[in-house]
């Protein structure tokens, strides 16, 4: 079982002067679920090297068993510090792709041509495409073989408008993820704020927020074992 993780390289939170990146728990929790299921995991990002961690995700309130395991795992920390460049990988070499969230992907991965092409090839090859929280933004510009939006008429979730308002970033983000998914024809749904909520529509597996991270990974593993 070979899993590709695609992480953001974007670290500026709009014009706020604050930093962003990927959300630590949305990386660590799925990583260890895949690892403990026996997966071989490759990490990539658009720029390669160390992807930026959202500093807020390292605050005490947001620590979980998975993030604490990461903090005690120098091997994974070293692996994360030298991600390969996204442009160097192809769907041919992996069984599934996973995108951790955080606000970073809204700026870079949602528009990255290498990422968009990668997603299209995974889907065309009948392989799971998964993303959690803000990372379903990576699906917005992917198309099917007819040139239609990949997520058109697909059941999808992602970080909700109410959650964005709760973190007071609705006027900072470049777009509302919930609104854009709907504009592309997705059948968007969400659960209560901050509760685990997962949607699987055949090969597309999406989670609403950090609490959904492990459930997304488990769904990918279950799909690969079928």
pLDDT digits (tens, 9 = 90+) for 49-99: 999 999 999 999 999 999 999 999 999 999 999 999 999 999 999 999 999
Provide the CATH number for the domain around residue 74: 3.40.50.880
Structure tokens at 188: 């968007």
- pLDDT for the residue numbered 37: 97
The end-to-end CA distance of the chain, in Å, is: 12
Owner of token pair 């606000």: 103
Average pLDDT over residues 6-26: 97
Q: Are 151 and 184 in contact (CB under 8 A)?
A: yes
**pTM for the whole structure:** 0.97
Q: What is the pLDDT of residues 36-50, one digit of tens each?
A: 999 999 999 999 999
Q: What is the pLDDT of residues 135-192, one digit of tens each?
A: 999 999 999 999 999 999 999 999 999 999 999 999 999 999 999 999 999 999 999 9
Torsion of CA 128, 99, 158, 156, to 10 degrees: -20
Q: Are 105 and 134 in contact (CB under 8 A)?
A: yes
Average pLDDT over residues 194-204: 97
Burial class from Cβ neighbours inside 10 Å (0-12, 13-18, 19+) for residue 163 reads buried
Residue 215: band (very low, low, confident or very high) from pLDDT cuts 50, 70, 90? very high
Chain-wide mean pLDDT for the chain? 97
Q: Print the domain residue range for 125.
A: 2-225
- pLDDT for the residue numbered 109: 98
- pLDDT for the residue numbered 10: 98
- State how far the Cα of 206 lies from the Cα of 62, in Å rounded to an integer: 21
Q: What is the pLDDT of residues 107-121, one digit of tens each?
A: 999 999 999 999 999
Residue 126: band (very low, low, confident or very high) from pLDDT cuts 50, 70, 90? very high
- pLDDT for the residue numbered 194: 96
Q: How many domains does the chain have?
A: 1
């Amino acid at each position: 079982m070979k899993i590709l993780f695609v992480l953001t390289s974007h670290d500026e939170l709009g014009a706020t002067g604050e930093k962003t990146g990927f959300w630590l728990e949305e990386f660590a929790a799925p990583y260890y679920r895949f690892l403990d299921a026996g997966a071989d995991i490759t990490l990539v990002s658009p720029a390669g090297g160390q992807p930026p961690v959202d500093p807020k995700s390292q605050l005490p309130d947001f620590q979980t068993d998975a993030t604490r395991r990461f903090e005690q795992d120098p091997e994974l920390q070293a692996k994360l510090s030298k991600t390969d460049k996204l442009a160097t990988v192809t769907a041919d070499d992996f069984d599934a792709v996973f995108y951790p969230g955080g606000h970073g992907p809204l700026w870079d991965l949602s528009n990255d041509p290498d990422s968009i092409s990668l997603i299209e090839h995974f889907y065309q090859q009948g392989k799971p495409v998964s993303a959690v929280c803000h990372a379903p933004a990576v699906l917005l510009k992917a198309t099917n073989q007819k040139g239609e939006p990949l997520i058109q008429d697909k059941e999808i979730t992602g970080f909700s408008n109410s959650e964005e308002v709760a973190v007071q970033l609705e006027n900072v983000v470049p777009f509302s993820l919930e609104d854009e998914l709907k504009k592309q024809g997705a059948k968007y749904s969400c659960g209560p704020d901050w509760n685990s909520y997962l949607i699987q529509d055949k090969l597309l597996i999406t989670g609403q927020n950090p609490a959904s991270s492990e459930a997304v990974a488990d769904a990918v593993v279950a799909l690969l074992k079928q």
